[in-house]
Amino acid sequence: MMAGAAMDRAKRRLDEYFDRDELKRFKMERSIGEGASGNAWKVSYRPYTEDQVRASIDQRPNPEPVPEVPEVQHIILKTSKVGTLFFDDQFNKEWPGEREDLNEEEGEDFDPYNADDSIGHEKAWLRKFRFSKHVVKLIEPPMTPFNRIFPGLRRRMTRDDFMFLEYLENGSMGDFLEKMMDWQGVARIPNRMLWRCFLCLIRACIAMAWPPTEQDAGNNTEVIESTKDVEARGIVHDDLHVGNVMFGPLINDPDEPEHHASVPMLKMIDFGRMYEREDRPGKWNQPTGVTDNIFAISILMVNLIEGSSFSAYVMSPSTPNILDFQLHPGGATLQTTATSLLENGRFPLLDPLLRGYVCACASPHPNQRPPLANLATAAMAAIRNHDQAWYAANLPDAAGDESDDNVEWFVQNFLFSAPTMEQQAAPGGNAQNAIVLS
Ligand SMILES: [Zn+2]
């Protein structure tokens, strides 16, 4: 961890680089996170085209007659531990001039602390998912100041010491659960929001099994992930937890109109531990990349259903704590590690079909976890059919919570802003309508 003064110095040094950018594309806003492997900063950015950047660097007249100033967007700058350490004066005293001769083009690299290359690793994975909707976007500004040598300014970072990412303004699933927990009395997320989150997580798993290609995207920059008729790849995220799934904005998505209009899209972040397994398909009941990812998202769903980021930590495929259940009444008996969902009377307003699918994803037996295509079909159908009227008819006690108005109110209050006392009253002033008191 860096001390506050060191952080301030690092921030100032990053600013020096941004200041040298001819078009002043970048502006440091603030530090937003510090972890064992590096730091994250919020930066505002004007996405000029490569031609415009080149013209400004070469001091040529701009290729476009009147260069239009692009609108500012917020992005994340992630710096590696070593990258950031180089900004620390103390560090530079210990390693005077270590990076003076760095020449990336010749492939030379020097890491005095033999640092992990997690940013380089993560960037390579993010590029593979660049057409995928449910994965955070890597942003690659042309001719980043960190990649250049400026007179009077030492080069301190290699290209694997930093990356820029899309800024997801609505926080992580963990932030959301914390807001819920802070607000005493709220016991559950509406089923209709849960189904939408579930479909996003299923899509993220599909992305890992069949990363969308440029061909899949066609004229779009990114697409909804879909299953394919070829063997799934064994890519595993390996670090899926409530901090590594983020909410994006609300969008009117023509690909799936019902999916992201009322509940923002969830996206996977942090691919630092991602790898591809060598699965041996056809080996009966052996875990694969796909079945491991499905188990991981079942834990996230249990977190959401319980409204807490703690309780699901005990779930593991090898736990002795398992229960029998049926996905559909009268169907085959399966086993699950999501035992809390089956505890008598604990989640009386949980959609039974959703309970069944989450339990199946959390089966200790990989072959009992449903295929991704079935999960996507089931979640899409539920999003379409389990609407306000369906809950009123089939789960009348949940009807108030599942109304269009309440789902919208819930998202507005818990996702888009921290709840205030005034907001604690539901639409129409009937708090009972919106929340279930525990
Ligand atoms: Zn989605």
Q: If you measure from the C-alpha of residue 422 to the centroid of ligand 1, how many angstroms do you get, rounded to a whole number? A: 31
3-state DSSP helix/strand/coil percent for the chain, to nearest 5?
Answer: 40, 15, 45
pLDDT attached to residue 421: 39
Phi and psi at residue 159, in whole multiples of 5°? -70, -15
Q: Where in the chain is the domain with CATH 3.30.200.20?
A: 4-166
**174 confidence band (pLDDT: 50, 70, 90):** very high
Task: Answer for the pair 431, 424: CB distance below 8 angstroms, yes or no.
Answer: yes
Q: If you measure from the C-alpha of residue 193 to the centroid of ligand 1, how many angstroms do you get, rounded to a whole number? A: 11
Report the alpha-carbon distance of residue 226 to residue 256 in Å, rounded. 12
Tell me the per-residue pLDDT of 185-207, one tens digit each, with 9 for 90 and over: 666 899 999 999 999 999 999 99
Q: Mean per-residue pLDDT for 211-236?
A: 93
The CATH superfamily assigned to 173-424 is Transferase(Phosphotransferase) domain 1 (1.10.510.10)
Q: Where in the chain is the domain with CATH 1.10.510.10?
A: 173-424
Record the pTM.
0.86
pLDDT attached to residue 2: 59
What type of residue is 59?
Q
Q: Mean per-residue pLDDT for 96-114?
A: 41
Q: If you measure from the C-alpha of residue 197 to the centroid of ligand 1, how many angstroms do you get, rounded to a whole number? A: 7
Tell me the per-residue pLDDT of 303-342, one tens digit each, with 9 for 90 and over: 999 988 776 778 899 999 999 999 988 899 999 999 999 9
* CA-closest candidate to residue 200, choices 144, 265, 138: 265
Q: Which helix (H) or strand (E) holds 8?
A: helix 4-20
Report the alpha-carbon distance of residue 48 to residue 38 in Å, rounded. 27
Q: If you measure from the C-alpha of residue 268 to the centroid of ligand 1, how many angstroms do you get, rounded to a whole number? A: 11
The CATH superfamily assigned to 4-166 is Phosphorylase Kinase; domain 1 (3.30.200.20)
Q: If you measure from the C-alpha of residue 65 to the centroid of ligand 1, how many angstroms do you get, rounded to a whole number? A: 40
Q: Mean per-residue pLDDT for 403-414?
A: 90
* CA-closest candidate to residue 35, choices 12, 2, 11, 13: 2
Query: CA-CA distances (angstroms) from residue 102 to 110, 156, 364, 372, 423?
Result: 8, 9, 50, 46, 55
pLDDT attached to residue 148: 84
Q: If you measure from the C-alpha of residue 196 to the centroid of ligand 1, how many angstroms do you get, rounded to a whole number? A: 7
